[in-house]
Amino acid sequence: MTPANEPTEAPPGAAVPAGPGGVRVALILPLSAQGNAGAAAQSMKNAADMAIAEFRNPDIQLLVKDDGGTPQGAQAAAQQSLDEGAAIIVGPLFAQSVSTVGQVARSRGVPVLAFSTDANVATRGVYLLSFLPESDVHRIVEFGASRGKRAIAAMIPENAYGGVAEAALQAAAARRNARVVAIERYSADPARLQAAAQRIAQAAARADALFIPDGADALPQVLNALAAANLNLRRVQLLGTGLWDDPRISSIPQLQGGWYAAPDGTGFRNFAQRYRARYGSEPVRTATLAYDAVALIAQLIKAQGPQAFSEQVLANSSGFAGIDGIFRLRTDGTNERGLAVMQVSPSGPQVISPSPRAFGPGT
C-alpha cells in the first residue's frame, strides 16, 4: 500500500496525536448485530487485526467499537472514540451510521474511512472505501466503447442499486460518446418483468449492447423473460457490474460471453489464503476493505508523520495500491477503483482487460 504524492501542509485538525499507545485509530463495526451484518463485522475486524500483524506492529492503537448496527450506536461509538483521542475513524458499515459518524467526526476535524456503498453519504472528510457501482459502470461502458459497443439498451432493477447504476450509465455513456437507446425498469412481479422485456426486445434492434446491473438471484428470470420476448441474446453484447462477480454467474447459460467490471480476483484469493491460515474460516468479500483501511493508515503514519491524514494525502490523485488493486479517494468522499473486465465462461470468469497499474492524471 503505497501513497504517491507528498503534501505541502496539513489543514487544521489533521495532526496525528502522539503519546502512549501511538496513533489511536477507531474501528466502528456492527459486531453485535444479528445475522449477516454481525458475521461480516467480525470478519472485517479480523482483517483489521491481520493488517496490523502483517505490517509488523505499526505505531497504531486500534480502538474497536461496536455500533450494534444502528445510527444511534454509531454516533455514541464515534463520540467515545474521539473522546479517547482517535485521530481517524475506520467504518462504520451502514449508510445511516456513516452519516451520523461523519457529523460527529467533522466537528473535531477527524477524517472517516467508511464502508457504505451509498455514495450519497460521502462528503468532504468522509471517504468511502467500498466497491461503488459507479466505478463498475464507468469501466464496463468505457471498455465496451473501446470494442465498438456504443448503442446500449438497459434493463434496470427497480431498487436503489438500479437507480445508481442507471445514473452512472447515463454519465458514462456521455463521457464515452455512446448512446443509451432504451431503458426499461423491472420489478420481481412476473407481469411487469415480461412487459419490460417486451419493450426492450423491440428497442434492441437499435442496440449493440444490453446492460443488466443485477445479481445471480434475479438474472435467470430476467434472461428468461427476454428470451420469451424473442430477443436474440447472441446478437447483443451483455454488460454487467460487480454483482456478476459471483460463482453462480458461470452456470447461467445465457450469460456466457457477457462482460462485467470487477476487481481482479488474484488479490482476494491470496488474502483469503492468509486469512484462513490465521483464523480457520473464510473471510467475507468486504474484509479486504478493512484490511486496506488499516494498512493504508499504517503506511501513511510511517511515510507522512504529522500530515498523514490531511486531505492532500488521503485524496491525492495518484491513489494507493490495495488488496483489490489500485484505488483513489476523491475530495467529495467517493472513490475510483482500477478494475479488470471479466468475461463469463463455464469455467469461471476470464480476464479480458486487466486492471490498470496506475491512474491517469486528474481526480
Same domain? For 68 and 212 the reply is no
pLDDT digits (tens, 9 = 90+) for 29-42: 999 999 999 999 99
Is 21 a residue whose pLDDT tops 70? no
Within a domain: residue 10?
no
pLDDT digits (tens, 9 = 90+) for 177-193: 999 999 999 999 999 99
In this structure, are residues 9 and 254 in contact, taking their beta carbons and an 8 Å threshold?
A: no
Q: How many domains does the chain have?
A: 2
Average model confidence (pLDDT) across the chain: 92
Same domain? For 94 and 146 the reply is no
Neighbours of 269 (CB within 10 A): 9
pLDDT digits (tens, 9 = 90+) for 246-260: 999 999 999 999 999
Domain boundary among 262, 292, 323: 262
Q: What is the pLDDT of residue 305?
A: 81
Within a domain: residue 13?
no
Same domain? For 99 and 189 the reply is no
Within a domain: residue 14?
no
Q: What is the pLDDT of residue 361?
A: 67
pLDDT: which is higher, 195 or 204: 195
**What is the rounded distance in angstroms from the CA atom of residue 129 to the CA atom of residue 358?**
17
Same domain? For 147 and 202 the reply is yes
Q: What is the pLDDT of residue 307?
A: 83
**What is the rounded distance in angstroms from the CA atom of residue 212 to the CA atom of residue 155?**
5
CA angle centred on 116, ends 278 and 129, rounded to 5°: 65
CA angle centred on 142, ends 242 and 221, rounded to 5°: 40
**What is the rounded distance in angstroms from the CA atom of residue 176 to the CA atom of residue 154?**
16
Same domain? For 118 and 151 the reply is no
In this structure, are residues 341 and 352 in contact, taking their beta carbons and an 8 Å threshold?
A: yes
Within a domain: residue 270?
yes
CB within 8 A of 98, min separation 6: which ones? Answer: 74, 92, 112, 114, 115, 116, 118, 121, 126, 128
Q: To the nearest whole percent, how much of the chain has pLDDT over 70? A: 93
pLDDT digits (tens, 9 = 90+) for 289-345: 999 999 999 999 999 887 899 999 999 999 999 999 999 999 999 999 999 999 999
Same domain? For 247 and 312 the reply is no
- Helix 35-54, helix 265-279: angle, nearest 10: 90
DSSP 205-235: GG-SEEE----TTTHHHHHHHHHHTT--TTT
Q: What is the pLDDT of residue 360?
A: 79
**Domain span at 91:** 23-131+266-332
Q: Reduce the DSSP state of residue 69 to 3 states and report it.
A: coil
Within a domain: residue 102?
yes
Can you give the C-alpha Rg of the chain in angstroms? 21
155 beta partners: 184
Same domain? For 97 and 188 the reply is no
In this structure, are residues 126 and 113 in contact, taking their beta carbons and an 8 Å threshold?
A: no
Backbone dihedral region for residue 162 (phi beyond 0: left; psi -120 to 50: alpha; all else: beta): alpha
Summarize the confidence of residues 225-254 as an average pLDDT: 96
Same domain? For 143 and 214 the reply is yes
Same domain? For 243 and 296 the reply is no
Q: What is the pLDDT of residue 12?
A: 31
Is 80 a residue whose pLDDT tops 90? yes
Is 6 a residue whose pLDDT tops 70? no
**What is the rounded distance in angstroms from the CA atom of residue 110 to the CA atom of residue 84?**
13
Same domain? For 201 and 112 the reply is no
CATH number of the domain where residue 173 is located: 3.40.50.2300
Q: What is the pLDDT of residue 58?
A: 85
Within a domain: residue 2?
no
Q: What is the pLDDT of residue 22?
A: 86
- pLDDT-derived band at 7 (thresholds 50, 70, 90) equals very low
Same domain? For 36 and 181 the reply is no
Pairing of strands 325-329, 335-337: antiparallel
Within a domain: residue 246?
yes
**What's the whole-model pTM score?**
0.89
Neighbours of 217 (CB within 10 A): 11
pLDDT digits (tens, 9 = 90+) for 123-156: 999 999 999 999 999 999 999 999 999 999 999 9
Within a domain: residue 349?
no
Same domain? For 205 and 296 the reply is no
